[in-house]
Chains A and B, each alone.
Chain A
Amino acid sequence: MSKEIKVPEIDFDRLDEIISRYKGQKWSLIPLLQEVQRELGYVPSQTIKPIADGVGMFPSQVQGVVSFYTGLHTTPRGRNVVKVCRGTACHVRGGKTILKLVRQRLDLEEGETSPDLGYTLETVACIGVCALAPNIVVNNTTYGQVNPKKVTQLFNDRGAGG
């Protein structure tokens, strides 16, 4: 259940240019998908057929590969990707409450992206910084010893419950 997101226009000329460099090479499907995701932020469903035609596979097969990897996303992602840890140490040190506060602050459920493409919320199994539990990762920065005040500071561009 995702909110209505304003999907950005897809530049199909740019897409065709990318695909042309992988033409007819079935083995290079994954690097092609990764490059498309780098360019467009995700792998839109409208790109499945051009990609399939480009490498000589069926669209359903390309969809099968995309759906296999959690690293390939089929919906647009926010500019900021927030990952709340739900590992053992974080859980024991109040990770559930932190998650609840983050959800309220961003007004997002796990897996959702905000309509203005500002934030995407995810949970992860363990970041590996258990000594600093509870932890949150935003984009490439890890925040340890998170408490309600830090949550407010981190997401100060979002109102409480907004």
Chain B
Amino acid sequence: MAITITLDGVEVSGNPGMTILDLARESGIYIPTLCHDPHLIPYGACRVCLVENEQNGALLASCVAPIAPGMIINTRSEKVLESRRVIIKLMLASHPDNCMVCDKGNRCQLRQVATELGIGWVDFHRIPHPAEIQDLNPFIERDLSKCILCAKCIRACEELVVEGAIDYLDRGFPSKPATVGDTPLELSECTFCGTCVNLCPTGALQEKVKPHHGSTTKVVSTVCGFCGCGCNIDLEVSGNLVVRARPNEGDTPNGATLCVRGSYGFDYINSPQRLTQPLVKIDGEFQPASWEEALSAVAGKLGEIKSANGPDSLAVFGSSKCTNEEDYLLQKFAREVLGTPNIDNGGSVYNSASRNGLGGSLGFAASTNPIGDIEQSEVILLVGDDPEVSAPQIGYAIKRAVRHKGARLVVINSRDTGLASFAHQYLVPKVGTETSLINGIMKAIVDHGIWRKSFVAEKVSGFDEFSESLSDYSSEQVEQITGVASQELHHVARLFAQANSAVVVYGSGITRQSNGEQTVAALANLSLLTGNVGKTGAGIFAIQEENNGLGAADMGCLPDLLPGYQPVANGAGLTLSEMMEQAEAGKIKGMYIMGENPVAGISDSGKILGSLDFLVVQDLFLTDTARLANVVLPAAGFAEKDGTFTNFERRVQRVRKAVDPPGESLPDWQIILKLAEAMGNPMQYSSPQEIMDEIAARVPLYHGINYDDIVPGGIFWPRTNGYRLGPSRLYEGGFPQGFGRFVVTGSQLSEDKAEPEIIVPKELYQFGSGVRSSMSYRLNAMIVEPSGTEGTDNRY
């Protein structure tokens, strides 16, 4: 039932529970605020938003005052304006006089409000806040003499990223936001996500390393190039320099947050180690060469190997970090220009388990719900991943769900994770036995009779055979195999099955194992069994490690699948590990690697790649893999080209060029086109948009994706009728023909041998093999130990 009030003489209506500020904004009436943010719970601290209740003359804080029927509010009376002036003057009286040299400049909201009110001269007695904090971390600089005690930093840390590193210390004039023990940030729980810096209305919190003073000239909306969350970032640019990265707060996967990599890790763009010229190896030494020289060397040599040994002697390795357009072009180049079926990409090792594990049972090989659904869930099952490091947005969502929404978290992981402290239950099965554990949980659910009978009966096939196959997974047997107590197993089974909505989140801890596909299929079975697919707050999240892991697979940068997961017509090509085997055996003689550093991840690959007849590597830096190449081609990074990335939520989002690539380096798509031309088989595209237009026409999954329609937050595939921006949630109307089925994951217990797989924990300040993160001055300053496997050092 709507409530009507009079706002500045005009009758406006709103819903019960709305505040005066919400209604004013909706009605186009401007009320200044400093401590308010739409992402945070209203706080009422700064009092700048005071409005007058004309019925009794009282001043109400509009950000927290709810509308009531018959209210008569004036947002601009003399009483209101005078109170605003006094409040701002009091803030300025405690504020340092250095606006001229403060880097917040025109972005300072205190300054903006003061300007609006016409406050130039502050005639109040000055009582400055002290500013004694010295932080050594390279990310955040705190000058609390400028703090206006709006508490946005504290609220962001507690409400949005649920870290709670800071809160108010002391009261009165000495009051300030501080860490436990008032230590520097680097000695606290702070993960330097930068959310507090983004929300601070004054210059109290700013980025530490400021390569630039003054205003930036343009803002470019793009997508982060690190993990699979696909956070939308606004890059503020001055000239050819990216000055800062802020979250794009539209309907995006990240809202008002980022993580330390997204906020501060982009400075590798300006590293002096960036490749700026093609390099050709002559007598064991790299010599700079022109594009023409380098390309003709590559075309010549690849052509030679092809005619002498057949196209099957060539292999191409593409990148889960390059754009969709580039991966599409690369597989096309491999298949049509080189004529080889041997194409793979760096994300396969993380996501091939999901392709059949999820795709085989549900229909699509990707996450089923948007990240926001996690906070609508009652129970969260987190298996084999530490999202605080691998996918921070999922980490924040899970913590918010547990802390603020009362959700229960069950963690299944063979090693300790940060989120275990948020867990209602924490199970530690022996490494490699997760499939048995999940099967045991499902058997308990079936035995207790608490599976979603009507959902299964109507929508899912194969129940009888599946339920039969669980007979060997009694909780006593499972306890034997996994080491998890049968009582705990029953508790998890009941908790998960009896929730109204529950989600499963899994990641590379599962998919990297050789039985990963089995475990993923078991998790899909679990979701189907409990009816947790195709509704709000219920689904499966397949975390992708890298920004375009899903996209690279969508684009068919795979040996056995064409773009859109269509099977290859004649004979599958080799996977990366098969390429290494065949190279060692002398069958693969030439290789083209784009945006990947396999030497860091695969032991002995250095020796193998070094002994190829010809290796060409395309990258941003001279990686360990590039060092072994005959020709190195300098490529552009995410901030230097146009294109799209597809995050693990299936959002296809726009990557936009913000700055020019250094020296003579070029976007990967341009390099591939030049190479095709040099090989006498030109492909005609003049822009990434044209490439995407072809993809949209040829790849059913990407039908309807076009640049003009992509807004912040992207378009979810598959963009079918009825969903303007694609379906954020899959299977709401049921499963694709032939899917929605239980998959038997093997009743032979001996198949679940525990493997001696050592899963290396990753760090927030590193990413992948460290090619980019170790070149970020700021991220690298936090690393104590070198990253990656032995024998490699990506820092030089």
Chain A, 47-76, CB within 8 A of any chain B CB: 48-49, 57-61, 63-64, 67-68
A67 and B169 contact, CB distance less than 8 A: yes
Task: Name A67's contact: one of B158, B163, B170, B179 (CB within 8 Å).
Answer: B170
B168 at the interface (CB under 8 A from A): yes
A58 and B171 contact, CB distance less than 8 A: no
- Given the contacts A45-B181, A60-B179, A68 and B165 also touching, CB distance less than 8 Å: no
A64 and B168 contact, CB distance less than 8 A: yes
Task: Name A58's contact: one of B158, B168, B170, B181 (CB within 8 Å).
Answer: B158
Residues of B within 8 A of A64 (CB): 167-169
- Please give me the residue from chain B that is nearest to A48 by CB atom: B180
A61 to B177, CA, bound (A): 10
Residues of A within 8 A of B170 (CB): 67-68
B164 and A63 contact, CB distance less than 8 A: no
- Please give me the residue from chain A that is nearest to B182 by CB atom: A63
A64 to B181, CA, bound (A): 10
A48 to B164, CA, bound (A): 13
B322 at the interface (CB under 8 A from A): no
- Please give me the residue from chain B that is nearest to A66 by CB atom: B169
| Residue count of chain B within 8 Å CB distance of chain A | 15
A1 to B166, CA, bound (A): 24
B240 to A: closest C-beta gap in Å: 40
**Chain A at the B interface: mostly helix, strand, loop or mixed?**
helix
Residues of B within 8 A of A61 (CB): 158, 164, 167
A58 to B171, CA, bound (A): 18
Residues of B within 8 A of A63 (CB): 167, 169, 178, 180-181
A60 and B171 contact, CB distance less than 8 A: no
A59 to B179, CA, bound (A): 9
A64 to B175, CA, bound (A): 10
Residues of A within 8 A of B165 (CB): 58, 60
B608 to A: closest C-beta gap in Å: 50
B172 to A: closest C-beta gap in Å: 10
Residues of A within 8 A of B166 (CB): 60
A62 to B: closest C-beta gap in Å: 8
B180 and A67 contact, CB distance less than 8 A: no
A61 to B163, CA, bound (A): 11
Chain A, 3-55, CB within 8 A of any chain B CB: 45, 48-49
B147 to A: closest C-beta gap in Å: 15
Residues of B within 8 A of A67 (CB): 168-171
A59 and B164 contact, CB distance less than 8 A: yes
B251 to A: closest C-beta gap in Å: 29
A79 to B179, CA, bound (A): 31
Residues of A within 8 A of B171 (CB): 67-68
| Residue count of chain A within 8 Å CB distance of chain B | 12
- Please give me the residue from chain A that is nearest to B177 by CB atom: A60
Q: Which has the most chain B C-beta neighbours within 10 Å: A59, A64, A68? A: A64
Q: Which has the most chain B C-beta neighbours within 10 Å: A45, A48, A68? A: A68
Chain B, 176-224, CB within 8 A of any chain A CB: 178-181, 188
Q: Which has the most chain B C-beta neighbours within 10 Å: A59, A60, A67, A68? A: A60
A49 to B158, CA, bound (A): 16
A60 to B154, CA, bound (A): 10
A48 to B182, CA, bound (A): 13
Q: Which has the most chain A C-beta neighbours within 10 Å: B163, B168, B178, B180? A: B180
B283 to A: closest C-beta gap in Å: 61
Q: Which has the most chain B C-beta neighbours within 10 Å: A48, A49, A61, A63? A: A63
A60 to B151, CA, bound (A): 13
A66 to B: closest C-beta gap in Å: 9
Chain B, 286-312, CB within 8 A of any chain A CB: none
A10 to B: closest C-beta gap in Å: 16
Mark contacts of B137-176 with chain A using CB atoms, 8 A cut-off: 1 yes-contact digit, 0 otherwise: 0000000000000000000001000011111111100000
A45 to B180, CA, bound (A): 9
Residues of A within 8 A of B178 (CB): 60, 63
A78 to B: closest C-beta gap in Å: 23
Residues of B within 8 A of A58 (CB): 158, 163-165, 167
A20 to B477, CA, bound (A): 36
A49 to B163, CA, bound (A): 14
Residues of B within 8 A of A59 (CB): 164, 180
- Please give me the residue from chain B that is nearest to A58 by CB atom: B164
- Please give me the residue from chain B that is nearest to A74 by CB atom: B181
- Please give me the residue from chain A that is nearest to B179 by CB atom: A60
A162 to B181, CA, bound (A): 32
B43 to A: closest C-beta gap in Å: 15
A57 to B: closest C-beta gap in Å: 8
A24 to B: closest C-beta gap in Å: 12
A43 to B: closest C-beta gap in Å: 13
- Please give me the residue from chain B that is nearest to A53 by CB atom: B421
A61 to B158, CA, bound (A): 9
Residues of B within 8 A of A45 (CB): 180-181
- Please give me the residue from chain A that is nearest to B170 by CB atom: A67
Residues of B within 8 A of A68 (CB): 170-171
A64 to B168, CA, bound (A): 5
A32 to B168, CA, bound (A): 20
A68 to B175, CA, bound (A): 9
A48 to B167, CA, bound (A): 13
A60 to B: closest C-beta gap in Å: 4
A29 to B: closest C-beta gap in Å: 13
A77 to B170, CA, bound (A): 19
A55 to B228, CA, bound (A): 35
Residues of B within 8 A of A (CB): 158, 163-171, 178-181, 188
Residues of A within 8 A of B (CB): 45, 48-49, 57-61, 63-64, 67-68
Q: List 7 A-B contacts (CB under 8 A).
A: A45-B181, A57-B164, A58-B164, A59-B164, A63-B178, A64-B167, A67-B168
Q: Which 5 pairs between the two chains have the least Cβ-Cβ distance?
A: A58-B164, A60-B167, A64-B167, A59-B180, A67-B170
**Besides A45-B181, A49-B180, A63-B178, 19 other A-B contacts (C-beta < 8 A):** A48-B180, A58-B158, A58-B167, A60-B164, A60-B165, A60-B179, A60-B180, A61-B158, A61-B164, A61-B167, A63-B169, A63-B180, A63-B181, A64-B167, A64-B169, A67-B169, A67-B170, A67-B171, A68-B170
